[in-house]
Structure 1
Amino acid sequence: MLDWVLTNGWAAWLIIALLLGVIEVLTLDLTFLMLSGGALAAAAQSGVTGGNVVLEVITFVVVAVLLLFALRPRLLRRLHRGPGADALSNTDRLPGQPCVVLEQVSEQTGLVRLDGDVWTARSVSGTVYPVDQAVFVQRVEGATVVVTHNNPRPTGGVQN
């Protein structure tokens, strides 16, 4: 068995890479994937040099360490950022949204229905908006929307 491993080192490294890949699928931590990359590099080294075990082990260690410390942190940051990380937050999407006054809105207080939720509201310039009037969100200040009768962000057409 040992004789086969020494003469077919590339195959042994490929088996190790495959096993590390399977462990990575089970753990999803990217550590074993980096080790698997080192094993693939060692398999390539074995195919080129024809069985220098010391050189293969050194190749495995060097490549695995480089992948672990150079590539893995970048990949983890990108994965944890997730899709749409550069997209607007929920409150950033609210300006320009229509809402309906539920309780008279003045410069100090009021209530509006916005996307099915009730929000505290106040008007922009002291204008008083009566119940059932359609208004638009101008900005969000904490848990209060500041509303106006003009849409500050028109939805039609192409915006630059």
Structure 2
Amino acid sequence: MLPDLTQYLWIAWLVLALIFVIVELLTLEFTFLMLAAGTLVGGLGTNLLSAPWWLQVAAAAAVSALLLFTIRPLLLRALRRSSAHIPTNVDALAGIGARVLVPFVDGAGSVKLDNGETWTARLTDPTADVAVGSRLIVHAVRGATVEVVAAGPKENTHG
């Protein structure tokens, strides 16, 4: 005669919820979080009400599905709305100001960016006349060279 293991089913629900939470921490998509909540609310909740095992499984599946299709999209939308793209590293250099360090010859020279870095630079308009100390704006980064354009007269007056 086999023992009745359904009296220990609450342990299985807790272990399953813990596994779902661990997987959620690795994926960060809210899918396994909804499954964990469904497991706890539906499965463990009906177990505590002494429901039969098949009703526990059905309740866990129903609550998980309800959470997956209602709460998860709202959470994903809120997460994506709050995480605006902020350029970093080389992407953040476009639009930053610079000063000419070395005179430009054939459109190539050297500039010191407002963040303190010194870069090899190329003028987007090689015919532009820029003197040492002139104010420029970084247009783009091409490898280890920045493409610069002459700053407007308003920006040239600031020091």
Instruction: Answer whether contact 2:101 2:133 (CA < 8 A) is retained.
Output: yes
The match for 1:151 among 144, 155, 159 is 155
| Same amino acid, percent of matched pairs | 21
* CA separation of 1:56 and 1:11: change in aligned 2, threshold 3 A: same
Given the alignment of the two structures, is residue 140 of structure 1 paired with residue 139 of structure 2, yes or no?
A: yes
Say how many residue pairs are matched: 144
If the length of structure 1 is used for normalisation, what is the TM-score? 0.59
Q: CA RMSD in A?
A: 4.2
User: Structure 2: 5+ residue runs without aligned partners?
Assistant: none
Post-superposition shift, 1:36?
2.0
Instruction: Answer whether contact 1:21 1:33 (CA < 8 A) is retained.
Output: yes
If the length of structure 2 is used for normalisation, what is the TM-score? 0.60
Instruction: Answer whether contact 2:109 2:121 (CA < 8 A) is retained.
Output: yes
Aligned letter for 1:44? G
CA separation in 2, counterparts of 1:133 and 1:88?
27
Post-superposition shift, 1:146?
1.0
The match for 2:122 among 120, 123, 143 is 120
The match for 2:107 among 106, 109, 112 is 109
User: Structure 1: 5+ residue runs without aligned partners?
Assistant: 155-160
CA separation in 1, counterparts of 2:58 and 2:15?
18
- Correspondence for 1:158: none
CA separation in 1, counterparts of 2:3 and 2:51?
13
Alignment of 1:74-89 (within 5 A): 75=76, 78=79, 85-88=84-87
* SS across alignment from 1:104: strand
* SS across alignment from 1:95: coil
CA separation in 2, counterparts of 1:92 and 1:23?
34
